[in-house]
Structure 1
Amino acid sequence: MMAFGATGDPQLAYEFGLAMAREARAVGIHWTNSPVADVNSNPDNPIINTRSFGEDPAQVAEFVAACVRGLQEGGMIATLKHFPGHGDTEHDTHMGLPVLPFDARRLAALELVPFQAGIAAGAKAVMTAHIALPQLDPAGRPATLSAPILTGLLRQRLGFQGVIITDSMVMQGITDHYGAAASAVLAFEAGADVFLIAADFDDSFNSVLHALQSGRLSMTRLDESVRRVLLVKSWLGLDRSRVVEIEKISEIVAAPETEALADRISNASVTLLRNQGDLLPLPATAHLKIIAVSDEPNAEFGRALQHQLESRLAAVSLVRLSNESPRELVQAAAQAEAGEVIVLGIYLSIGAWKGKTGFSPALQELLAGAAVLPQPVITVAFGDPYVLAKLPATAAILTPYNGARVGEAAIARALTGEINLTGRLPVTIPGRYKIGEGLQLRSR
């Protein structure tokens, strides 16, 4: 999502939502747990990061609303997550329960702004966060299990009347503190309508059933949730048509216009932060060495970039390094031929149960010495842009905010001057770059 923020154009988020809904509905998928409405105001956030549109609540709100409109005009349920805001944490809720000190005033000024915009745009669903906010709920329960947050804040104050779905109930933000049976009843009491991935389905089901039979939960409350679920099913038209037209899938999924949209978004997102000596764009006679650096081994990293550049430049080679690479291989990779240009691709991205990301001592030495190599070095942050705060300033620095095929292809076009570079940072890179920075470079 951060790549969208870098484009500065919410219309692209709308078009993406529409395309995503069209393809998903073609294969029978009706509900997406997106867009992320979190404001990534904490650079050390280990789980939201590039999943957010950025750090400015007003800008994030614009993109969230546009994405919701696109998704739902395409006939797909949009889900705002992670309520009431997961952007200012330093802990992954897959691995524990963050406790945040924020009060209602702080939330209203920052975290809630995109959620309000998404609700106003008509979002049919909201996903909860496994974060505790004692100033809102003195009991210290995660928002997923908190009536003051789900019913008091989301339903009553913000006026949301759609479906509330929990984040996964197998995450340690819940399981470290509550069993499957207790958490199911508490979530239902708090106001949740749908549980995502129960830790133990039988225990969860039976506990809710027993709570209904004992009178702890009322049938009126159950009917409210059932009615909300039936309403969205009716909105989807599932009471009228439940099957897809298989023969049309190949016409709709990965259609040329969708692929072109993906390229257009990726091109517009590329952010150029440094271009010392007008190194870019590279001449067609350039000899390039790509060093793809990642924390985990991945045979795909750099593949599309190399493929795209081989038809554009005189020579292109590729070396992949990871935290598992022996020091000798890392040291050998830093050796380049005279006249070569090095592209240092940094593939560092967040992931569930991954925790803090980082590099091995050998890779850290390679990265630290990049600025003093005799060859010009172009650093590309494929994924987490905050890594640039920890790297030396090389001759050129760019980020497409993702290391997928379309991100690598966009960087290939950027390096060779085939596209205008207009992206701007939607976040602050501490100690290096301010939000909104980005050099503009016209195609040649």
Structure 2
Amino acid sequence: MQLGMLDSSRRTIAGVILAVAALVLSTFAVSTPEAQAAPEDDWVETTLASMTLEEKVGQLFMTHAYGTTADTQDPADVAANQELYGVDNAQELIDKYQVGGIIYFAWTNSVQNPDQIARLSNGIQDAALAQPSGVPSLVGIDQEGGIVARIGPPATQLPGNMALGAGRSASDAQTAAAINGDELSAMGINWNFAPVADVNVNPANPVIGVRSFSENPRLAATMTAAQTRGYTSAGVAGAAKHFPGHGDTATDSHTGLPVIDHTREEWEQLDRPPFQAAIDAGVPAIMSAHISVPALDPSGDPATLSEPIMTGILREELGYDGVVITDALDMAGASATYGNDRVPVLALKAGVDMLLMPPEFDVAYNAVLDAVESGELTEERIDTSVRRILTLKHDLGITDDPHVDPAQVPAHVGTPDHLATLQSITDRTTTLVRNHRDLLPLPAASPGRDDVLVTGWGVSTTQTVADKLVERGYDTTVVETGTNPDEATTRDVARQAKQHDLVVVTTNRAGLETQQGQAHLVNRLKRTRTPVVAVGVRDAYDVNQFKKVDAYLATYSYTAAALDSLVRVLVGELDPTGRLPVTIPRKNSQRALYPYGHGLEY
């Protein structure tokens, strides 16, 4: 009986009895459900308390391993793993270091097909559960959609962030993420490093570009929050990246350390909103950027290693207490200033929780252990990050059973419903930027007429466009010209163009200095007097490299769905409804050639 329920008229016992009653009350209070530790806290704290320092440090790392299976004996994969880690395969890597997670890439032979991926994931979980701590593994991937998709068909291919930005639908963005998450989860992948929350305000950005939703921070914030919710609904952790914002740089952090010269006020207005929106939407992870932002930290250190940014701004100002993971530490932006033994320690001191792909794994792992032994890092600091990592694993539900059923993969991956939904979403993103004299839509094909030359970038891209035109009765010739066609190729294609009724030319980053041949090709084609339809199949900005072509469309990616939408727009089966999510500036100018929000319809 609770003491608080006793009637005051009956409390006539001596004070000593009251003291005893108070003791009973306190004992009861501790045992009530409200005062008991939550199941999550109980598992996390019990597991953490049982772990050795070496096991805790292992949890701080995510890296890659070569092989189609966790116990691969393929000679090439074994040789690659031996060179990196001194082990044969992922199973031995986990045995040696008790790593907290494994990340998949095509070049590590991790993602050959959905069934193989599911079995690899199960093998990784078997190895993780066999460790003394019995903690399951995070399995991560960069399956952003569009131009960044580690798993190809039959997995459903998302249209990519900038395409979704062109569609302007938060509902579509959330649905796309939910479909992506459902398919990843079926393959045993529980962490997707998406969405990209960077606001791409620099058309020359070499590393973000169409991976961003928009140059508009409000649109980027809306889409980032929507995709965060989509991944969460599918039981997959998302990761907003790359904090504090990688959208305004002309340097690739894979090859150097970009410097973002935004003022603090500009950062608040441009870069912060999508990350704040992700946090407000409950994003379970944020990935740091290897960029220097002097207005946020004048030291010049990359944000990944910056305590003022990772702790002062992200943790304290934005109030974020989820997992923070670095971008890959083998990128030049991370190692430009400090050695491979210092970067992991400095990242942890800055406030990061998880260390992704250090270039010398054994050096990094032992550097963290040595830092604890020397007192530079305390074990309490390690516990703080491990606690967040364990909480993420518990919240994902993988602490009960992390395995997946390979037999169920076909019921989730690349299903007709998923493909149809993503096609419908993609159909709302294709953007008609220019349509001189209403060249588009094309008239219906007729025998002996409408001979189309399909040329430009992309062997598969040009052939796919041509095949879809043939299906609709057009005669086509395909001449793929590569990323930087030379003068002889350009002359030959222009000569052929004169023999055709129409030219469709695809471009991919024609504004790059090393790919100017694409722009020369389009401009030469324009001089043939044969009507020219140019298509930017990646960056919408390409159009500022051309003299005024007859028509220009932006698809933002070259997925099968994007090319299907493109051809249906060309022939009038689909009305283009996408709107530019970025401003296209004039060449060598800040003035707008086509403004944000521009888009034509039929």
TM-score (norm 2): 0.70
8 Å CA contact 2:510–2:519 kept in 1: the answer is: no
Q: Does 1:425 align with 2:580?
A: yes
- Cα gap change, 1:339/1:209 in structure 2, threshold over 3 Å: closer, same or farther? closer
1:190 to 350, 366, 384: 350
- Cα deviation code 1:231-255 (max 9, x no counterpart): 1100111111111011110111000
8 Å CA contact 1:347–1:403 kept in 2: the answer is: no
RMSD: 1.6
2:596 to 432, 435, 439: 435
8 Å CA contact 2:483–2:508 kept in 1: the answer is: no
159-168 or 304-313: bigger deviation = 304-313
Q: Does 1:150 align with 2:310?
A: yes
Distance in 2, Cα, partners of 1:417 & 1:401: 20
- How do 1:266-415 and structure 2 match up within 5 A? 266-285=426-445, 286-293=450-457, 298-323=458-483, 325-334=485-494, 335-338=496-499, 340-348=501-509, 356=512, 358-361=514-517, 363-415=518-570
SS at match of 2:594: coil
- Cα gap change, 1:326/1:59 in structure 2, threshold over 3 Å: closer, same or farther? closer
Q: How many residue pairs align between the two structures?
A: 431
8 Å CA contact 2:289–2:326 kept in 1: the answer is: yes
Question: Which amino acid is the alignment partner of residue 137 of structure 1?
Answer: D
Question: Which amino acid is the alignment partner of residue 210 of structure 1?
Answer: D
Residue equivalent to 2:207: 47
Q: Does 1:206 align with 2:374?
A: no
Deviation at 1:303, TM superposition (A): 2.3
Question: Which amino acid is the alignment partner of residue 230 of structure 1?
Answer: L
Deviation at 1:357, TM superposition (A): 5.5
8 Å CA contact 2:497–2:525 kept in 1: the answer is: no
Question: Which amino acid is the alignment partner of residue 130 of structure 1?
Answer: H
SS at match of 1:369: helix
Structure 1 runs (4+) deviating above 6 angstroms are: none
Distance in 2, Cα, partners of 1:349 & 1:81: 26
SS at match of 1:181: coil
Residue equivalent to 1:254: 414
1:141 to 286, 292, 301: 301
Residue equivalent to 2:168: 8
Identity %: 38
Work out which of the two has the higher radius of gyration on C-alpha atoms and give 1 or 2. 2
Residue equivalent to 1:235: 395
Q: Does 1:168 align with 2:324?
A: no
8 Å CA contact 1:292–1:318 kept in 2: the answer is: no
- Cα deviation code 1:252-307 (max 9, x no counterpart): 100011111221122111111111222111122222111123xxxx5323122122
8 Å CA contact 2:166–2:430 kept in 1: the answer is: yes
SS at match of 2:576: coil
Distance in 2, Cα, partners of 1:275 & 1:326: 28
SS at match of 2:261: coil
279-288 or 409-418: bigger deviation = 279-288
Deviation at 1:408, TM superposition (A): 1.2
Residue equivalent to 1:132: 292
- Cα gap change, 1:324/1:41 in structure 2, threshold over 3 Å: closer, same or farther? closer
Distance in 2, Cα, partners of 1:205 & 1:25: 29
- Cα gap change, 1:325/1:378 in structure 2, threshold over 3 Å: closer, same or farther? closer
1:177 to 310, 331, 337: 337
- Cα deviation code 1:388-422 (max 9, x no counterpart): 11111111111111122221111111101111211
Distance in 1, Cα, partners of 2:467 & 2:222: 36
Q: Does 1:17 align with 2:17?
A: no
8 Å CA contact 2:510–2:545 kept in 1: the answer is: no
Deviation at 1:155, TM superposition (A): 0.4
Distance in 2, Cα, partners of 1:163 & 1:349: 38
TM-score (norm 1): 0.94
8 Å CA contact 2:442–2:572 kept in 1: the answer is: yes
Question: Which amino acid is the alignment partner of residue 452 of structure 2?
Answer: L
Residue equivalent to 1:353: none
SS at match of 1:224: helix
Q: Which structure exhibits the higher relative contact order, with contacts defined as CA atoms closer than 8 Å and separated by 6 or more residues?
A: 1
Question: Which amino acid is the alignment partner of residue 314 of structure 1?
Answer: Y
Question: Which amino acid is the alignment partner of residue 515 of structure 2?
Answer: F
Question: Which amino acid is the alignment partner of residue 552 of structure 2?
Answer: I
Deviation at 1:182, TM superposition (A): 0.5
Distance in 2, Cα, partners of 1:115 & 1:369: 44
Residue equivalent to 1:219: 379
304-313 or 407-416: bigger deviation = 304-313
Deviation at 1:121, TM superposition (A): 0.5
Deviation at 1:349, TM superposition (A): 8.3
Structure 2 regions of 5+ residues with no counterpart?
1-160, 587-592
Deviation at 1:366, TM superposition (A): 2.1
